[in-house]
Structure 1
Amino acid sequence: MNEPTGREEAGDRPPPSINDIRTPGPAARVRMLSGDVGYVVTRAAEAQHVLCDPAFSSAATFLPRAPAQPREPVGSSRVLFEMDPPEHTRLRRAVAQAFNRRRVEAMRAGIAQVVDGLLDEMAAGGPPADLVHALCAPLPLTDICELLGVRREDRDSFRGWAETIMALRGHSPEEIDRARAAIQRYFVDLVAARRAEPAGDLVSELLTMSDRGERISEAELVRLAITLLIAGHGPTMNQLARCVYALLARPELYAALHRDPDLVAPAVEELLRTVPSVPVGTPRLALRDVEIGGVPIPAGSTVAVSALAANHDPALFPDPEMTDLGRTDNKHLTFGHGPHFCIGAQLARTEMRTALAALVRRFADLRLAVPPEAVQWRADSLFHGPLELPVTW
């Protein structure tokens, strides 16, 4: 593999930022979030190819001489989205067996109970309210902590650690190191406690699978728990807030869901397509010279997929700029594709469908308490969403 440099050639025109690319196309040369130069894939067919092709490595992006990432690996070692097969395959298979559709279905009633309780509190407090604080943040945090067996009194600490770790800026290296150490230490202690006294949570089940010969070390189990916490909280919090904002910024869309609650499920998929909370996925490194849609990509180049652009590819989505809450053939890439397809997609979908169904049922006249352009957006995180979502009713 050629040694990656991530540098521009002398005399090159400075490439645009990765966040400025919106038009679907095969691959565009851009400046990555890390500041290095790489490529972003913005057309659906090529995006699916990159996400499945082993020539594009997740693990290699963390090699010592690879272009810098906007953050370091979480915890003491790499997590699932920073691995390649066969290591990734082995650990993902173990989690998939434990974190399956049956488990998520079993959580459905509990999720509905959490949503109703949070909306009860919001209603009792009266308008206006911040929907991020009232619903979007506590719902996925409660669910993923419940799944992992994290104590209720520790959940606020977990939210702070997770947001510090995933921030792109705003925290010193020392603060990030302390958050990593804290979350690592917590899960080391939790795994030890479940080893001594199993409970009905996911950590206990993974320990049982390890004892049955699944070859999951306790260090790997800690990393898996960290992966699930980060991926189960930040993206869903921001995605739910983005979905509600999109509906309230165009009140006719929210009214349509209130009139026809059967639209909630396809509406969630359409909002996932149009306003993904992770517009650009985790970068990969080209292990050899390749072509993407006729664009030559040198070995050692950083390559990322823009779900936002690919989700608006007219070759896959008729009238891609239209928000069609009833769209049924919706093969969006917001949860990824291929080996790294989001393992928590089913849980995230269940949370968003449950939350939106309850909102439109209980708050028929929910609306933004400020003009849409006054909502402030999170700009310092890998996950994009409103910092606050002021609503009234």
Structure 2
Amino acid sequence: MTESFPVGRPAGCPFDPAREYAAFRRTDAPTKVSTPAGVDAYVVSRYDDVREVLRDGRLSSRSAPSEHVVPDADLEREVDSGSILQVDGAAHKRLRRMLAGEFAVKRMEALRPRVAAIIEERLDAMLATGGPVDLVQEFALPIPSLVICELLGVPYEDRAEFQARSAVLVRVDGDPDEQMRVSDEFNQYMVELVLAKQARREDDLLSRLITRGEELGTPLSLPELVSIGVTLLVAGHETTANMIALSTLALLRNPAQLEALRTDPALAPAAVEELLRYLSVVHFGLFRHVTADVPVGASTIGAGEYLIVALSSANRDERVFPDPDRLDVTREGAAHVAFGFGPHQCLGQQLARLELQEVFTRLYTRIPTLRLAVPFEEINYRDNTLVYGVTALPVSWDEQI
């Protein structure tokens, strides 16, 4: 029997993945589901199976990141040659190789002082208001937006425009005509930015990509640079902004965990990893096309079929994570798969970690009395977008002494 793919989170449990995944994990073979995209697919829900399929070259990411939840998606449309999320094989390796150095640990660590300064500036601005404020608009969004703007060489004054366009593009239930129009506008904006970088190089990622390609004799084309720029701009602020806000809500709902982190800021790196596991904001998982027969658990999935790689289910696999539904900022053990795994593992994961670590180190110590300004039950969630989060997070605090 084919079941429906679970697209929601449990009522009253906004931090947990769909309850159906627990049943899926008890089976030895992937569960077949019908999807909003109009095709059937097999859900890969166990941690070990998820890691195996994500590093298997027989799976194509051409329908990435989550087109199985887009109603009547065109899964056969031509893939943009510069889409690092969707191209495979040698084409993907070329793009990844060009970008990898920009997100190396050493380069990211060099950004830490600037990221810390940005966070302190936003905290000063928040505290100056006296509260209450929407943490999403006043803190969670500005920090990664400013960081990615500086990294790419995008004027920060354009942030409201690209944030609005990004919000349209990541919806899974948006109007296709509107999304096409917004996509065209976004691409045209990036075309103009890239042309400006080609004419006048600066100390930013896009300029360095242009120069590196020329030096290697394999220059990136204008469409490739545009696609890379749009992808990094959207992904660079959407995921981290949602993690900042949703993590704060989860910690406020788990005061003992928040107190442990506030008391010992050195726990920040472990807390980041645990919240990435616990929340898994890429909540629809990853969509993959099977290009040749591939074993998954006790089954073999044939060429031409589709897989849904359920990251949130893998991160709650009781075989790997003891008491997986409990938030524990001191947890040790296996690495989560919130950033994916294998060749397409998130390129910007070290930047995301750095930003989250600095937020967790500073937000809860600078504002130790931070609390919700509305009842928890009134919080609304972004459950119709590719990245899960909250639409707003009203918070307040006691007057600072």
TM surpasses 0.5: yes
Which residue of the partner structure matches residue 144 of structure 2?
140
* Offset, 1:75: 9.7
Deviation track 1:303-331 (CA, whole Å, cap 9, x = no partner) reads 12111110111222222222221113240
Q: 1:205 aligns with which of 200, 203, 208?
A: 208
Q: 1:302 aligns with which of 306, 312, 324?
A: 306
State the secondary structure of the residue aligned to 1:291: strand
Output the CA distance in 1 between the equivalents of 2:294 and 2:7.
Answer: 20
Q: Which moved more, 1:83-92 or 1:307-316?
A: 307-316
Which residue type is aligned with residue 342 of structure 2?
A: G
Structure 2 residue runs of 5 or longer lacking an equivalent are 9-17, 66-70
- Whether 1:174 aligns to 2:177 is yes
Q: Which moved more, 1:249-258 or 1:85-94?
A: 249-258
CA contact (8 A) 2:4 2:35 kept: no
Output the CA distance in 1 between the equivalents of 2:36 and 2:4.
Answer: 12
Q: 1:187 aligns with which of 186, 190, 195?
A: 190
For 1:268-279, list aligned pairs within 5 A: 268-279=272-283
Which residue of the partner structure matches residue 113 of structure 1?
117
Which residue type is aligned with residue 22 of structure 1?
A: Y
Which residue of the partner structure matches residue 22 of structure 1?
21
Output the CA distance in 2 between the equivalents of 1:327 and 1:106.
Answer: 28
Change in Cα spacing, 1:111 to 1:60, as seen in structure 2 (3 Å) is closer
CA contact (8 A) 1:251 1:367 kept: no
Output the CA distance in 2 between the equivalents of 1:353 and 1:74.
Answer: 39
Q: 1:328 aligns with which of 317, 329, 332?
A: 332
Output the CA distance in 2 between the equivalents of 1:385 and 1:116.
Answer: 23
Output the CA distance in 1 between the equivalents of 2:323 and 2:112.
Answer: 33
Which residue of the partner structure matches residue 319 of structure 1?
323
State the secondary structure of the residue aligned to 1:81: coil
Deviation track 1:105-136 (CA, whole Å, cap 9, x = no partner) reads 22111111111111111111122211111111
Output the CA distance in 1 between the equivalents of 2:253 and 2:63.
Answer: 41
Q: Which moved more, 1:38-47 or 1:207-216?
A: 207-216
Output the CA distance in 1 between the equivalents of 2:337 and 2:184.
Answer: 33
Which residue of the partner structure matches residue 6 of structure 1?
none
Which residue type is aligned with residue 336 of structure 1?
A: G
Identity of aligned residues (%): 37
- Whether 1:340 aligns to 2:344 is yes
- Whether 1:356 aligns to 2:337 is no
CA contact (8 A) 1:29 1:38 kept: yes
Q: 2:58 aligns with which of 55, 59, 69?
A: 55
CA contact (8 A) 2:82 2:95 kept: no
State the secondary structure of the residue aligned to 1:80: coil
Change in Cα spacing, 1:153 to 1:248, as seen in structure 2 (3 Å) is same
Change in Cα spacing, 1:13 to 1:305, as seen in structure 2 (3 Å) is closer
Change in Cα spacing, 1:71 to 1:269, as seen in structure 2 (3 Å) is farther
Q: CA RMSD of the aligned region, Å? A: 2.3
CA contact (8 A) 1:74 1:165 kept: no
State the secondary structure of the residue aligned to 2:89: coil
CA contact (8 A) 2:98 2:209 kept: yes
* Offset, 1:87: 0.4
Change in Cα spacing, 1:284 to 1:76, as seen in structure 2 (3 Å) is closer
Output the CA distance in 2 between the equivalents of 1:370 and 1:201.
Answer: 41
State the secondary structure of the residue aligned to 1:356: helix
Change in Cα spacing, 1:205 to 1:313, as seen in structure 2 (3 Å) is same
Output the CA distance in 2 between the equivalents of 1:245 and 1:71.
Answer: 36
* Offset, 1:142: 1.1
Which residue of the partner structure matches residue 390 of structure 2?
386
* Offset, 1:17: 2.4
Output the CA distance in 1 between the equivalents of 2:77 and 2:126.
Answer: 37
Output the CA distance in 2 between the equivalents of 1:303 and 1:85.
Answer: 18
- Whether 1:122 aligns to 2:126 is yes
Change in Cα spacing, 1:214 to 1:52, as seen in structure 2 (3 Å) is farther
Output the CA distance in 2 between the equivalents of 1:246 and 1:105.
Answer: 27
Output the CA distance in 2 between the equivalents of 1:75 and 1:235.
Answer: 23
Output the CA distance in 1 between the equivalents of 2:362 and 2:243.
Answer: 17
Output the CA distance in 1 between the equivalents of 2:376 and 2:74.
Answer: 30
Output the CA distance in 2 between the equivalents of 1:205 and 1:13.
Answer: 49
Output the CA distance in 2 between the equivalents of 1:72 and 1:385.
Answer: 30
Which residue type is aligned with residue 384 of structure 1?
A: Y
Change in Cα spacing, 1:155 to 1:74, as seen in structure 2 (3 Å) is farther
Q: What TM-score results when the alignment is normalised by the length of structure 1?
A: 0.90
Which residue of the partner structure matches residue 82 of structure 1?
86
Which residue of the partner structure matches residue 253 of structure 1?
257
Deviation track 1:311-362 (CA, whole Å, cap 9, x = no partner) reads 1112222222222211132400000100001000000001111111111111
Which residue of the partner structure matches residue 11 of structure 2?
none
Which residue type is aligned with residue 246 of structure 2?
A: R
- Whether 1:100 aligns to 2:104 is yes
